[in-house]
Amino acid sequence: MKVERKCTIVAREEMGDAIYLVLEAGDMVRTSYAGPGQFVHVKCGEGLLLRRPISVCSCQEDVPNDLIAIAFEVRGDGTRWLAQRKVGDTLDVMGLLGNGFSIKPKGRYLLVGGGIGIPPMRGCAQATEGRSTAILGGRSKDKIILQSCFNDECAKVLIATDDGSLGHHGFVDALVRQELEQDKNYDGVLACGPKPMLRNVANVAQEFGIPCQVSMEERMGCGVGACLVCACDMADGSRKHVCKDGPVFDSKEVDWNA
Ligand SMILES: Cc1cc2nc3c(=O)[nH]c(=O)nc-3n(C[C@H](O)[C@H](O)[C@H](O)COP(=O)(O)OP(=O)(O)OC[C@H]3O[C@@H](n4cnc5c(N)ncnc54)[C@H](O)[C@@H]3O)c2cc1C
Ligand code: FES
């Protein structure tokens, strides 16, 4: 069941270029949680017509208020407005939306997050209770956020930066290949990040015959399947709604050349 409610910001932290917010969300998690990788649709400012989708980083059931953490970077007017909110302010939030990653009980996964695609992988780390390996990538070391959380919540954490300022000098897909060459016992690869990164990670997973799920970040309008703004081309020629059918898809379903 989707819920729309006023959520109070109870914590706010700046992490490099990202803003991390914790929201009190009533029973939103208890009523709408489907898995890590879901998103909330946040009204960003009075004047702006549309809501903005932000992935859930982590969430927790509690009484009377469930807690939801999100992390985002400023890209335009909506996220700029959101970045100016303070502890005690309320946000108009719709959620939890979308399908989330499908995770087997006791499953062990390779979690791949690129840039602002890192935060949604934290929920996957928590859901797999220390069994997974995280591969986190970004342009430079200040883009690698939440590393200490992944250190606590994963069996292993590998880092890649484009400029070599932290970890492997290069892209995350090289580390995905390295890890799969050494260890073939993963139940799958779960990934969130920019589309070129997702395509490269999907190709490596396919080479190794490992299932791969990707979280797609298309522009959104309504967030609930009522417009066509978020349509994503599929390999079979169909189009799916990222908001309703996704944002997580089997990587083989996606038309990577669209
Ligand atoms: C399911 C989903 C989950 C997301 N989770 C996060 C998150 O956890 N953290 C985060 O920082 N961002 C996330 N995003 C992206 C975020 O929604 C956009 O950055 C935001 O909507 C931009 O709004 P704005 O008003 O600030 O900028 P706008 O003025 O709307 O856009 C600024 C620039 O960003 C581009 N843009 C906007 N949305 C997207 C998009 N979805 N994909 C690619 N380019 C885009 C625009 O074309 C424009 O160039 C997510 C998007 C989706 C669809
Ligand atoms: S955003 Fe409207 S259908 Fe997905």
pLDDT in tens, 95-130: 899 999 999 999 999 999 999 999 999 999 999 999
Q: Is the pLDDT of residue 147 over 60?
A: yes
| 227 annotated as ligand-binding | yes
Radius of gyration of the chain (CA): 17
Summarize pLDDT for 9-53 with one digit per residue, the tens. 999 999 999 999 999 999 999 999 999 999 999 999 876 567 999
Q: Is the pLDDT of residue 78 over 70?
A: yes
DSSP string for 145-207: -SHHHHHHHSSEEEEEETTSSSSEES-HHHHHHHHHHH----SEEEEES-HHHHHHHHHHHHH
Given a contact cutoff of 8 angstroms between Cβ atoms, the answer to whether 3 and 29 are in contact is no
Q: Sort residue 24 into left (φ over 0), alpha (ψ -120 to 50) or beta.
A: beta
Summarize pLDDT for 231-251 with one digit per residue, the tens. 999 999 999 999 999 999 999
Distance between Cα 185 and ligand 1 center (Å): 34
174-188 burial: b if 16+ Cβ within 10 Å, else e: bbbbebbeeeeebbb
58 backbone dihedrals φ, ψ, rounded to 5°? -155, 160
Which of 49, 50, 222, 232 for mutating ligand 2's site (highest number of atoms within 8 Å of CB)? 222
Distance between Cα 54 and ligand 1 center (Å): 8
Whether 52 lines ligand 1, by a CB cut-off of 6 Å, is yes
| 212 annotated as ligand-binding | no
Summarize pLDDT for 172-208 with one digit per residue, the tens. 999 999 999 999 999 999 999 999 999 999 999 999 9
Whether 123 lines ligand 1, by a CB cut-off of 6 Å, is no
- Please report the domains of the chain, with CATH numbers, ordered by start residue: 3-97 (2.40.30.10), 109-215 (3.40.50.80)
| 53 annotated as ligand-binding | yes
Distance between Cα 76 and ligand 1 center (Å): 8
| 145 annotated as ligand-binding | no
